Amino acid sequence: MLQSKCAIIVGEITPDLKLIEYQLSNFGYEIILEAKSSCEVLMLCNRYNVDLIILSLAIQEMNAISILRQLSIIRYIGVIILITGSDENLAVNVERSGISWGLCMLGILTKSTLTVDIKKILQNISQKPYLKIVERKTCISVDELCYAIDNDFIIPWFQPKVSFKTGEWLGTEALARWYHTEKGFIAPSEFILLAEENGLINKLTVNMIYKVFKSAHTWMNSDLIDNLSINLSTQSLLIPGLLDLILSCCQQSRISPQRITFEITESGLIRDVEHSLEVLSNMRLHGFGLSIDDFGTGYSSIQQLTILPFTELKLDKYFISRLNQSVSCRAIVKYSINLAHQLGLKSVAEGVENEDTWRTLAEFGCDMCQGYFTGYPMPSHELGHWHKKWENKFCNLKNTKHLII
């Protein structure tokens, strides 16, 4: 296997694609390969350690989709960028297929803004240390996961949520982080699913809940922030005695249930609907907040809003990251924020990475922002330092004339 940075460009090599080739070499890609069919792509992926695939939709939608499917089957771990001539909606559909198959889709380039956007994306890849933590796939075994849970290798990191209106630090989401001594950081997207599929999710959830309360109790009692969010997959709702365990954690750390929100992600069909509904309703009755996570994707749908007693609607980063490029994503975001407000729920935008997106969401009246623009996930001891930096950043934002508050 060769170790240099490697990219494949898939499609007829037009002058535009030649320009991209040039940009790639500027960004340190030493091996730049060309392919025109899924067979060629697979053959190259087998031979080289491919970091990036640029896929032109000029090779027709079905071919692009079949290439993405094949890449997901071989568990391709690099990133993918799509290029489209004109039909952006079509490209959005192709991209969503890629995401649903677990591929790391980094964006869509349109012909008119090709050279500017490719630079931005390549810069992002090299500047974001967290991208690797979140997106890279590693081979891990069930035994390794079990060992990591038992020996405290999986710990909570925290990502702040702030008010679009006032900049205030309103809440913090706990996100699981596994640091593997040999393989580095392993993404939750990999081990949560592995835990769910192998009967380890209960153990992992209970372990995380204890650790989250332990880390959070100092700053939750410092009056700096109001709310702490914890992820719960629907499978975890069936853990015997879950609510009692959470209530005792609240009591021990002197945090009232009103200040805890559970973000519910439905990774599959709810197995015992009645029991799950009962647990969620009981949580609400005790005062816990309930957030519908990843709203608009997969199983997280409008129908659930009619059944479950949610207090918060969380827009998935898929829509947020495309807010200023895609007309349809913009419409979905605007509609979802209004829907949340009409139902009396708080709206949270996840995945806000830049000022443009911040401004658009502020204009749409979104309540809370969570994203790399306001703060990366971090170990709990870094939150104080982050807060000081954020206060300065918000002051600057407020003082520039475009901010709508």
Residues that bind Ca ion (CB under 5 A): 231, 263, 293-294, 316
| C-beta of 76 vs 158, nearer to ligand C2E | 158
Give the one entry of Ca ion, ligand C2E, none that residue 371 binds, where binding means its C-beta sits below a cut-off of 5 to 8 angstroms depending on kind.
ligand C2E
> Using CB distances below 5 to 8 A depending on partner kind, what does residue 196 bind out of ligand C2E, Ca ion, none?
none
Q: Does position 228 bind ligand C2E by CB under 6 A? A: no
> 84 or 159: whose CB is closer to ligand C2E?
159
The CB-nearest residue to Ca ion is 263
Nearer to ligand C2E, 38 or 370 (CB): 370
Min dist. Cβ of residue 399 to Ca ion (A) = 31
Does 349 sit near ligand C2E (CB under 6 A)? no
Q: Give the range of 56-64, 71-79, 88-96, 369-377 binding ligand C2E by CB under 6 A.
A: 369-377
Closer residue to ligand C2E in complex, CB, 31/108: 108
- Distance, in Å, from the CA atom of 83 to the CA atom of 64, rounded to the nearest integer, reads 11
Q: Least distance in Å: CB of 130 to ligand C2E?
A: 7
Part of the chain binding ligand C2E (CB under 6 A), chosen from 116-124, 141-149, 367-375, 378-386 = 367-375
Instruction: Select from Ca ion, ligand C2E, none the partner in contact with residue 134, using the beta carbon and a kind-dependent cut-off of 5 to 8 Å.
Output: ligand C2E
Closest contact distance (angstroms) between CB of 100 and ligand C2E is 15
Question: Would you say 81 and 55 are in contact if contact means Cβ atoms under 8 Å apart?
Answer: yes
The CA-based angle 76-115-45, given to 5 degrees, is 20
Residue 107 β-bridge partners: 81
Under rule CB under 6 A, residue 372 binds ligand C2E = yes
367 binds ligand C2E (CB under 6 A): no
- Region from 22-30, 85-93, 137-145, 227-235 binding ligand C2E, contact rule CB under 6 A: 227-235
* Number of residues this chain uses to bind ligand C2E (CB under 6 A): 25
> Within 10 A of 93 (CB to CB), how many other CB atoms are there?
14
Q: Which amino acid, one-letter code, is at 220?
A: M
CB of 370 to ligand C2E, least distance (A): 6
Q: Which amino acid, 29?
A: Y
C-alpha 352: how far from chain center: 10
d(CA 96, CA 241): 38
Residue of 265, 291, 297, 380 that binds ligand C2E (CB under 6 A): 265
By a kind-dependent CB cut-off of 5 to 8 A, residue 208 interacts, out of ligand C2E, Ca ion, none, with ligand C2E
Angle subtended at Cα 359 by Cα 354 and Cα 365, rounded to the nearest 5 degrees: 130
Cα separation, 205 vs 235, whole angstroms = 10
Helices (H), 266-375: 273-285, 302-307, 317-321, 327-342, 355-364
| C-alpha–C-alpha distance, residues 308 and 328, integer Å | 27
Restricting to residues 280-319, which ones interact with ligand C2E according to CB under 6 A? 293-294, 317
Inter-helix orientation angle 201-220/242-253, to 10°: 20
How far is the C-alpha of 150 from the C-alpha of 148, rounded, in Å?
Answer: 6
For residue 284 the two structure tokens come to 């609400």
Residues across the chain: 405
Residue 377 as a binder of ligand C2E (CB under 6 A): the answer is yes
**175 counts as binding ligand C2E under rule CB under 6 A:** yes
The DSSP secondary-structure symbol of 36 reads S
**Binding test (CB under 6 A) with ligand C2E, winner from 78, 167, 188, 296:** 188
Residue in 11, 107, 289, 351 binding ligand C2E, rule: CB under 6 A: 351
Number of other residues whose CB lies within 10 A of the CB of residue 303: 9
326 makes contact with ligand C2E (CB under 6 A):
no
> How far is residue 253 CA from its own chain's centroid?
29
Helices (DSSP H) in 198-300: which residue ranges? 201-220, 242-253, 273-285
Q: What is the dihedral of CA 242, 245, 251, 257, to 10 degrees?
A: -10
Q: Is 134 among the residues that bind ligand C2E (CB under 6 A)?
A: yes
Q: Is the dihedral of CA 279, 153, 106, 348 positive or negative?
A: positive
Per-residue binding string, ligand C2E, 232-251, x by CB under 6 A, is xx------------------
Positions touching ligand C2E (CB under 6 A) are 134, 159, 175-176, 187-189, 192, 208, 231-233, 263, 265, 293-294, 317, 350-353, 370-372, 377
